[in-house]
Amino acid sequence: MEKTRYNDIPHKLLLGLTYLIIMSVIGGIISLIIYQIMLNAHPNNPNNEIFTITLANFLSYFLLAFVFVFVLRDYYKNEFQSFSKNILLYLGFAIGGFILNYFLSAVIQEIYNAVGFESRDTANQETISETLKYPLLSIPMIIFGAPLVEETIFRGVVFNYFRNLKLKNNLNIILGFIFSSSLFGLIHVFSTFITTGDVTELILVLPYVAAGFVLTLLYYKTNNLFVPMLMHFLQNSFAVVVILFFLPLLQSEENPVKSLIMLILHYFHLL
């Protein structure tokens, strides 16, 4: 059994239910309302759908972040105090995780190529990239909202739930890694699979599961939730910078760095 002490997250059931209700029910209601308003105001606007997704996601993550910070204010305070005392060490962990995730993503892409699977961006990746048309709404959600909310749920709630189980041979830790990583991966592809039935979305889950594994590993090794949050922040920030500032360079056929940009975009996923 694990003997290292850690700051266990409180109110796991409340946080889990809040996440499910807001993301699946309230988020859906918000989307319908916004979409109807946009259709009535601008019936011929081709960007109605992507604006609806962007604003609905922003409001959902804002609401979740507000609830989480209110409920976990003391927990976050204690975690941040511990984080600030070892900030250089934890920054090194986050950067190391960032590099490891890139390596694992590259390996997975090579496996896809070896078995003849034509890899592509997931619908989730394409949609998030499209939401950057509205940067004031999408960027705060991508680089702040997602790391706070998703690390709290998948590392703080899911992983700690299994870590607290009394099982032999570290089976609780193994299950924690499996469920935390797998559920994190599935949330990035499952909604598209359900709505379209596209099985390839499930195959493309592997890079997200790998990222979930690295994030869980960081949390397990440091026992501080702000470390995977920082890696998540770095990953999404880097991807946003590449998409916003370097993607336009791809329009030039003679750009000498075009291949490098394509390589970076191919291996890096917005989480």
* pLDDT tens per residue, range 146-199: 999 999 999 999 999 999 999 999 999 999 999 999 999 999 887 777 777 777
* Residue 4 domain-assigned (yes or no): no
- What pLDDT, on the 0 to 100 scale, is given for residue 247? 64
Entry pTM: 0.91
Could you give the CA distance from residue 242 to residue 218 in angstroms, rounded to a whole number?
Answer: 25
Domain encompassing residue 19: 12-267
Number of domains in the chain: 1
* Residue 90 domain-assigned (yes or no): yes
- What pLDDT, on the 0 to 100 scale, is given for residue 1? 41
Could you give the CA distance from residue 23 to residue 130 in angstroms, rounded to a whole number?
Answer: 20
* Residue 216 domain-assigned (yes or no): yes
* Residue 5 domain-assigned (yes or no): no
The Cα-based distances of 53 to 38, 188, 240 in angstroms read: 12, 14, 17
- What pLDDT, on the 0 to 100 scale, is given for residue 253? 58
* Residue 2 domain-assigned (yes or no): no
* Residue 3 domain-assigned (yes or no): no
The C-alpha torsion from 150 through 69 and 163 to 20, rounded to 10°, is -50
In this prediction, residues 18-25 reach a mean pLDDT of 92
What angle do the packed helices 87-114 and 258-267 form, to 10 degrees?
Answer: 100
Does position 68 have pLDDT exceeding 90, yes or no?
yes
Q: Is the dihedral of CA 139, 143, 147, 148 positive or negative?
A: negative
* Residue 221 domain-assigned (yes or no): yes
* Residue 1 domain-assigned (yes or no): no
